[in-house]
Amino acid sequence: MDTRPGETELHAWVDGQLAPRRAAEVAQWLAAHPDEAARVAAWQAQRAGLQALHAGLLDEPAPPHLARALIAPPRRARRFEALAAGLLLALGALLGYGAAEWRRPPAVAAQAAAPGFVREAMAAHAVYVPEQRHPVEVDAAQQAHLVQWLSKRLGAPLRVPVLDDEGLRLVGGRLLPGEAGQARAQFMYEDAQGRRATLYVSVLGSAAAPGASAPAAFQWGGDGPTHSFYWVDGRQGYALSADLPRARLQALATAVYRQLEAPAGLPGAGGNPQPGGPAH
């Protein structure tokens, strides 16, 4: 992406208001411009601070003068409506959402509630799946190098699930930027009809509690024709995205999860495990 995003677009990116494709383009531009990325990161920190500082406002009782307005004569109804609308707008600004957040359709609100890495995964899917000449940085013929390189950049040993029995072959993978400058990995698969699925892998900031053994729970996310099943296992977050029916994508996600859970070197384990065991 060569065109600099405007200030309005950068603020919209921080607030999660850009379309997935444009959000991915802005993320790529920021990755190539560290000074601007640092400025935007400061906005993100300020936004988080405002949210934390004013989170309790929504639980506070209405001020007495507003409460009295609720039982005011009808002739004051319009004045109260204007006051109430102003209060909602002010609260929205303080919490970093803006007035549009109150009118979001349920599907959009659910997508915004998904973890950041899921939104990144769907944006990356939308950007790279249509590519015909350069869908990946490193193709499947160099899978050993691909896994070693991405494992080093993410700081965790990665494994690539083998989905041949599910009708999908590995195309290859690429390195992508995530939030706060963190590295992400994307592996791309393709079926005989040319339909593609992507597995997005992120390393999260905190590990699961020691001894935690509960299985990861799949969550469903969607944005237009693209759907994702995502889950968190230990310190790693996964999102499998494709333009496929829910049942088909869930079957693929289950196959991926089982392979990633299998001990390295045993039947069912994904290809090319790296020294150090599974990435959990």
Condensed to tens digits (0 to 9), the pLDDT of residues 72-117 reads 555 555 555 555 555 555 555 545 444 343 344 444 444 445 678 8
pLDDT at 274: 35
pLDDT at 100: 40
Q: What is the pTM of this model?
A: 0.56
pLDDT at 209: 37
Place of tokens 């990325």: 37
- For the chain, list residues with pLDDT below 70: 1-2, 31, 41-42, 44-63, 65-114, 205-217, 222-225, 262-280
Structure tokens at 173: 């993978």
pLDDT at 33: 75
CB 204 within 8 A of CB 216: no
Place of tokens 């609100």: 109
Report how far residue 84's alpha carbon sits from residue 79's, in angstroms, rounded to the nearest whole number. Answer: 9
Report how far residue 116's alpha carbon sits from residue 203's, in angstroms, rounded to the nearest whole number. Answer: 12
pLDDT at 195: 93
pLDDT at 9: 87
CB 256 within 8 A of CB 238: yes
From 261, 14, 4, 239, select the one nearest 120 (Cα to Cα). 239
Report how far residue 195's alpha carbon sits from residue 244's, in angstroms, rounded to the nearest whole number. Answer: 9
pLDDT at 83: 57
Q: What is the pLDDT of residues 160-170, one digit of tens each?
A: 999 999 999 99
pLDDT at 266: 44
220: enclosing H helix or E strand = strand 219-223
Report how far residue 249's alpha carbon sits from residue 118's, in angstroms, rounded to the nearest whole number. Answer: 15
pLDDT at 91: 53
